[in-house]
Amino acid sequence: MTRAPAAPLFVLRGAGVRYGGIEALHEVTLTILAGERVALVGANGSGKSTLLRLLHGLLPAATGDVASLAPARDQAMLFQRPHMLRASALSNVALALWLRGARWRDAQRWAGAALARVGLEQVARQNARTLSGGQQQRLALARAWALSPAVLLLDEPTASLDPTAKRDVEALIGEVADGRTLVFASHNLGQVKRLATRVIYLEHGRVLADLPVHDFFHGALPKEAQLFVKGELA
């Protein structure tokens, strides 16, 4: 039986974003399909974070068109340094569920299950802002997983973590993203190989390469992307 083609979730046509006089994205045209795992790579300032924010609706397009077919409530975005409320780890997850309309008792119960999923049940009553960086990222993943989003948008989720925490959080990303659409920015090319099915390379706000992950690492690339893969472009 022929499998139905995946539906497009994001469609950008000539999209551009400006910060004052700075052009952060320039004429970006791409489509992201349901179920894809897309890695955004490139040097600092290449436009990865801006593109994630544009997809999530946190930034308007100055030029071009951006169509998001995934409603905001079906998306979850995690930042490199996630925002933690001045409350317990349990309440940080439960409040998100309560705001979605769950009864507080149910929200707490589901939040406990989410914390257990990421191995944080022992710190459920601890102030979230006192947790380590790795624990905060796991808490952010628990909060996202509890909301059952169809799309996960991650901005360098392991960049500021120690090696052990990087491995733990990356493994959790793989689990939480199972069956969902994943778009993430990363400088870690090993992580890109492990998590992505498609790689988009950005340079000064432009998309210079958009390839399946195997072709990105083993095929022909623009010179700038070659230098980045070789570690010669910061």
The residues spanned by each domain of the chain are 36-55+71-82+134-229, 85-130
Nearest to 71, CA basis, from 158, 147, 163? 147
Q: How do 151-155 and 8-19 pair as beta strands?
A: unpaired
d(CA 200, CA 81): 23
191 to 5, 69, 103: CA distances (angstroms): 27, 27, 38
14 to 38, 56, 163: CA distances (angstroms): 19, 17, 38
Question: At residue 43, does pLDDT exceed 80?
Answer: yes
Mean pLDDT of 206-218: 96
User: Residues 6 or more apart from 208 whose CB is under 8 A from it?
Assistant: 201, 202, 222, 224, 225
pLDDT at 3: 59
pLDDT per position as a tens digit, 171-184: 999 988 988 999 99
Residue carrying the six token digits 């778009």: 183
pLDDT at 80: 84
Which one is predicted more confidently, 232 or 20? 20
pLDDT per position as a tens digit, 74-99: 999 998 888 999 999 999 999 999 99
Task: Give the mean pLDDT of the chain.
Answer: 93
pLDDT at 42: 95
Sign of CA dihedral 168, 197, 114, 102: positive
Alpha helices in 69-132 (DSSP H): 89-99, 104-117
pLDDT band at 6 (very low <50, low <70, confident <90, very high): confident
d(CA 93, CA 146): 7
pLDDT per position as a tens digit, 134-146: 999 999 999 999 9
| Eight-state DSSP code of residue 134 | H
Alpha helices in 8-123 (DSSP H): 48-56, 89-99, 104-117
The residues facing 78 across adjacent strands are 154
Mean pLDDT of 185-192: 94
pLDDT band at 1 (very low <50, low <70, confident <90, very high): low
**3-class DSSP state for residue 131?**
coil
Mean pLDDT of 211-228: 92
Q: What's the whole-model pTM score?
A: 0.92
pLDDT band at 218 (very low <50, low <70, confident <90, very high): very high
pLDDT at 233: 63
Looking at domain 36-55+71-82+134-229, which of 3.40.50.300, 3.100.10.20, 3.30.70.100, 3.90.550.10 is its CATH number? Answer: 3.40.50.300
pLDDT per position as a tens digit, 98-136: 999 999 999 999 999 999 999 999 999 999 999 999 999
pLDDT band at 5 (very low <50, low <70, confident <90, very high): confident
pLDDT at 162: 86
